[in-house]
Structure 1
Amino acid sequence: MSSIEALYIFDEHNTPLLEQTYTGRPPSGSTLLPLYLAHAAPRPSLVYLPNTNPPTLLYSIIQDQLLFLCPSSNDTDPLQILEFLHRVTDALEDFLGGPLLASKIESHYDVVAQLLGEMVDGGVVSCTEPNALKDVVDAPNFMKTLLGGVGLPSATPSSLAPSNTPFSLGNRPSPRLGPSGGAGAATSSPVPWRRANVRHTSNEMYVDIVETLHVTLSPSGRPLAALANGMIAFTAKISGVPDLMLQLGCPGGIANAVSLPTFHPCVRLNRWKDRPGELSFVPPDGRFTLAGYEVDLLGSAALDSFSTTTPTNAAPKLNIPATVSVLTSLGPTGSDFEVRLQLNPRFKGKASSPLPSSTSSFGGRGGLGKGLGSTAFGGSASTGTTAAPAMDGMVIHIPLPTSVKNVVELKSGRGSGEAVFQPAESRVRWAINSREIATLMANDRGTGAGVLTTLRGTVVGHDNYDDGDAPDTSLSLSSNTYDYDDDPSSHQSSTSAAPTKPRDEGNASKKNKVLMPSCATVSFTVKGWLPSGIKVESLNVDQKKSKGLGAGVQPYKGVKYLCVSRKGVETRC
């Protein structure tokens, strides 16, 4: 088992905020920090330091510009220690609120010390579940002040001992969790990841499925790789100890689509193995990540399509919201390029009327059950549904070589978006807002070919002015002023040819070719659509296995689908 020897936290200026030693005598933070910073950025999450005594493995993560370091002098499981660091940041965000700031940690050292003391016992990870930590760690002082100012008890009502009054003001015992995370006192929850005595006036359950799209296309538009990384975020605000069943569906079957699944400890793995797509679990209280997965959108037979004997039209097809292509070396001197953005007409979205007050109080989520296929989001013009997904946040990045000094005459077709050259990042950024996307989609003629808009620009290198625009005056002066010829005819011919030198367009084209972009990436978000096609078919509460929910209580259920692509769709030139 991996041993956690110490934990060091530094702010964005590499000033030490906290040092927590659990076991042994590890090197201090002031010793490890210079050795860590000596590595060139981007620094790896695992660094071997042979010059320390003893030689040390240094694990690190950066969260909200805060640096977390964890040394280990033993041969340990790297993934376990890195996961522990992520659990620490999650717990700090849960108690102190996000984003994590140095001022928050400095103002609540007592809370942070309790958290770190409960999460590790003698170097062994003991309890990292936020719900269990809330039973043994007091709320931050600012929460106590806020609750006390409105006449409520300083501790959370769900963590107080039950009484006849809505809120018990008496002192509660301090339960402790054992190394395995189990309950050590009668007032603790029998479920390690769920708080004891959870009470909610309105019982609600929300499912948010978010997929991150990564696609690489060849210059001809043929897909080379297409992956979707999904996360199922679940929000449970239900009293008692509910037992839930979430049923997922997908064209072709979940077992054939989903690979590398990961689950929260609350999920019953045997049920998933016997019936893929069924998630049976007792949820923690509040929001948590229920599961994660990966989907290969090209399928298992994608490699066969790249065979030379396979016809080109047999290549796998992708139905993605937007693609981009780049044409380079245009114009008389080959200094122009053109970016073509193709929008899929399926992702138009549709305007929606304002939602009723009863629905908007739940954050604009659609209900589960019969109406699941028409789940609605929000109440604005950019609203997307599963029947009519909507794109938003369209940004195209065109990286350029560092030898490019400027990009002039940037013009977008049809007045779509705003394009600027960013010399610090050496790229062109072309942004199209949701209203402009809606305008482009409205002009679709319904041919099915999609909506096309373009961006054209001219690159200027650092030495273009010297070689192209300025004439070679030194050469003309030497040939006309100092050379003398007795023959008048030859003299006249030389003076007529000397004033200008013809521009070598072939050489200029070769020089400008190295200034051309090599790829372009598209970033966007799509509401109401997932690349994998996964959807929630049902979400039910097992009334027989659940405890404390109350007879006849039917929790409200809602679901959202969201696709995110941050420079995820890349087309190479």
Structure 2
Amino acid sequence: MSAVEALYIFDESNTPLLEHTYTGRPPPGSTVLPLYLSHPEPRPSLIYLPNTNPPTLLYSILQDQLLFLSPCSQDVEPLQVLEFLHRVADALEDFLGSPLLASKIEGSYDVVAQLLSEMVDGGVISCTEPNALRDVVEAPSFIKNLLGGVGIPSSTPSSLTPSATPFSLSSRPSIPRPNSNNNTASPVPWRRANVRHTSNELYVDIVETLHVTIAPSGRPLSAIAYGTIAFTAKVSGVPDLILQLGCPGGISSTISLPVFHPCVRLKSWQERPGHMSFVPPDGRFVLAGYEVDLLGPAALDSFSTTVKGNAAPKLNIPATASILTSLGPTGADFEVRLTLNPRFAGKLPSPSPSTIGSRGGAGLGRGIGSLGGASFGSSQGTTAAPSIEDLTVHIPLPASVKNITDLRITKGPGEAAYAPGDRSIEWRLSHKQISTLMAQDRGSGLGVLALLRGTVTGPADADADADADDADNPLNPHSSSLSNPYDYTDDSTAVPSSYQSVSPSLAPLASHHKDDRSVLLRKKNKVLMPSGVSVSFSVKGWLPSGVKVESLSVDAKRSKGLGAGVQPYKGVKYLGVSRRGVEGRC
């Protein structure tokens, strides 16, 4: 059964860049594009088009403002087509460079044609690994494109020749493969054959993204960390590697929902969790991904009414924020409280030759990474002393807010940015400002507090509506009943009073009315209050889950072509980030 019938690529202006038909007679791009754009944003990645003949399912992704569309008139697995579109975008980035631009596709049309023809054969997805594609597709070269542009023959046809048709590819081009005369093919599908490197290096980068939700009481409602293990292999031959992960609570009880690159031997992980045996692709790739519940399996039990409040799960994260609303006499003020964890104060490093990784050494370190807990020289953040960098507090505002007046930082450093009409306030603190603030309360150990305060202003007619409600109130000194010149009071019943004073019998009512007006203003300002606050930051040398690389070794018995006695240089980096992921709710 055919899975992919055609592929259409459009630029940021919805101008067609390429149309490649694999099988059948799918509707052209000029037909499916208006039907796709007719759906309101945000558009789903799968849209059913019943008005086409035959009815068609349209798959779509956006990559670097380029639109990838693939129509399919048959019943296929949706994830298969969507994954293919992502693989196409990744392959184009690998060959043409990132970011993926329309000019790059137009300037290297011959390479794009080869890639699309190799990735799908007659509608069936065949080869999508970038390393395997490099064995059969020649990467673009500036000199070759220049020679082809001036009419001098090159190894690949130029996109400027009349025979090239950049907007339609209905047949497979007959382009000679660069390794067609080479009988030696790689035994590993995801690795190129005859890989040679003058420098043998292995790098591991583990990045964990925080998603934390905190209740107004300060109790964490959810805390999830999504981890990605990026691996870079620049080793000659076919190396067989062993990567061992560890964490305080054990890998099997910490990591959930792991996903792996096809190069990982699943049996080794199943038998020994945390043990990954694999033959890596050449270059940089994503080795694995995982998810960690930072609250633990007993998090739901802690929300029971029988559990005491001090037994709630504790989180050790760099920064949290909370917000107090409806402050002030009219309830128009709010206050944001930013709390910094003193554990992430960091320290100034003292670099020495013994702490800097050297080429050919057995140590594993690349600036901030370590094995066994040893840290390496870095200007900011180490595994022994992580530090917060580039912290931003984001306060979203309701659409009815017209302005923020008296926005000020009452305690702590930073810059608060807001312009009338913006839908959010951003409070930024640089690494230097955070270090200075941390140094002031380094010995307390209770956390560092910074405060931001502001006043919301609603629509211009909000106060006018409140005054209009009071215009007919007889207790209002400016109401019509008291200012009517035809009203009079009999001298015999008049109560002596001063000019424009309110009768003593009406004084309690006037006070009551004043309280009602204050309550009314508070209700109107309450809908203008922010509903939450989020924090963004990055911390080098620290992971929320505590996962670390315990060892990275080369299996000499299984490896081929590495050379006897060669010890690759190894390095590890840890990075914990929050992209508005730590959220405090009102």
Both structures adopt the same fold (TM-score exceeding 0.5): yes
Paired position in structure 1 for 2:63: 63
The answer as to 2:486 corresponding to 1:483 is yes
Cα-to-partner distance string for 1:368-423 (whole Å, 9 max, x where unaligned): 87x5413336x43xx11111111112111111211111111111133411112255
* Equivalent residues of 1:297, 1:532 under 8 A apart: yes
Residues 514 and 201 from structure 1, CA distance in 2 versus in 1: closer, same or farther, beyond 3 angstroms?
same
Q: Which runs of 5+ in 2 are unaligned?
A: 149-153, 156-175, 504-509
- Could you say if the C-alpha distance between residues 345 and 146 of structure 1 is closer, same or farther in structure 2, counting changes exceeding 3 Å? farther
Structure-2 separation of matches of 1:492 and 1:102: 83
Q: Gapped runs of 5+ residues in structure 1?
A: 149-153, 156-171, 177-183
Residues in 2 aligned to 1:22 and 1:75: alpha-carbon distance in whole angstroms: 17
Change (3 A) 1:144 1:345: farther
Match of 1:525 among 521, 538, 541: 538
1:398 is matched with: 395
Give 1:321 shift: 0.8
- Residue 491 to residue 31, structure 1, CA distance change in 2 (3 Å): farther
CA distance in 2, matches of 1:434, 1:477: 58
Structure showing greater Rg: 2
Q: TM-score, normalised by structure 2?
A: 0.86
1:129 maps to 2:129: yes
- Residue 276 (structure 1) aligned with residue 273 (structure 2): yes
Provide Cα deviations, 1:527-550, integer angstroms capped at 9, x if missing partner. Answer: 011111100000000111111111
Q: Does structure 2 retain, via aligned residues, the 8 Å contact 1:2–1:77?
A: no
Partner of 1:99: 99
Tell me how far apart the structure 1 counterparts of residues 421 and 60 of structure 2 sit (CA, whole Å): 28
Deviates more, 1:358-367 or 1:241-250: 358-367
> 1:146 offset after TM fit, Å?
9.9
- Classify the secondary structure of the residue corresponding to 1:413: strand
Pair 292,450 (structure 1): closer, same or farther in 2 beyond 3 Å: same
Instruction: Give matches, 1:284-295, under 5 Å.
Output: 284-295=281-292
SS at match of 1:440: helix
Superposed counterparts of 1:6-21, under 5 Å? 6-21=6-21
Name 1:549's counterpart in structure 2. 562
Q: 3-state DSSP class of the match of 2:418?
A: strand
The normalised TM-score by structure 1 is: 0.88
* Bigger shift: residues 360-369 or 187-196: 360-369
- Contact 1:368–1:539 under 8 Å retained in 2: no
Q: Residue 491 and residue 294 in structure 1: after superposition, are their counterparts in 2 closer, same or farther (change >3 A)? A: same
Q: Which residue of 2 aligns with 1:466?
A: 464
User: Is the Cα contact below 8 Å between 2:412 and 2:449 reproduced in 1?
Assistant: no
Look up the SS of the partner of 2:411 in the other structure.
helix
Residue 566 of structure 1 corresponds to 579
Helix, strand or coil for the counterpart of 2:437? Answer: helix
- Are positions 1:537 and 2:550 aligned together? yes
What are the superposed Cα offsets for residues 272-299 of structure 1, whole Å, 9 maximum, x if unpaired?
Answer: 1111111101111100000011111111
Question: Are the counterparts in 2 of residues 485 and 491 from structure 1 also a CA contact under 8 Å?
Answer: no
Q: Spell out, residue by residue over 1:133-173, the C-alpha distance to the aligned partner (whole angstroms, 9 max, x if none).
A: 1111111132757999xxxxx99xxxxxxxxxxxxxxxx96
> Does the 8 Å CA contact 1:366/1:374 hold for their aligned counterparts?
no
Q: How many residues align?
A: 540
The within-5 A match list for 1:126-525 is 126-142=126-142, 144=144, 174-175=178-179, 186-353=183-350, 365-366=366-367, 372-376=372-376, 379-380=378-379, 383-422=380-419, 425-462=422-459, 463-467=461-465, 476=478, 478=480, 479-480=482-483, 482-485=485-488, 487=490, 495-496=500-501, 504-525=517-538
AA paired with 1:557?
Answer: K
Cα distance change, pair 375–78 in 1 and its aligned pair in 2 (3 A): farther
Displacement of 1:174 in angstroms is: 3.9
SS in 2 for 1:93: helix
* Aligned counterparts of 1:4 and 1:173: Cα–Cα separation in 2: 23
Q: Choose 281-290 or 51-60, whichever is displaced more.
A: 51-60
CA RMSD of aligned residues (A): 3.0
Using the alignment, how far apart are the partners of 2:328 and 2:295 within structure 1?
37
Distance 1:441 1:43 in 2: 45
| Secondary structure at the counterpart of residue 134 of structure 1 | helix
Q: 1:446 offset after TM fit, Å?
A: 2.1
Query: Percent identity over the alignment?
Result: 68
Counterpart residue type for residue 304 of structure 2: S
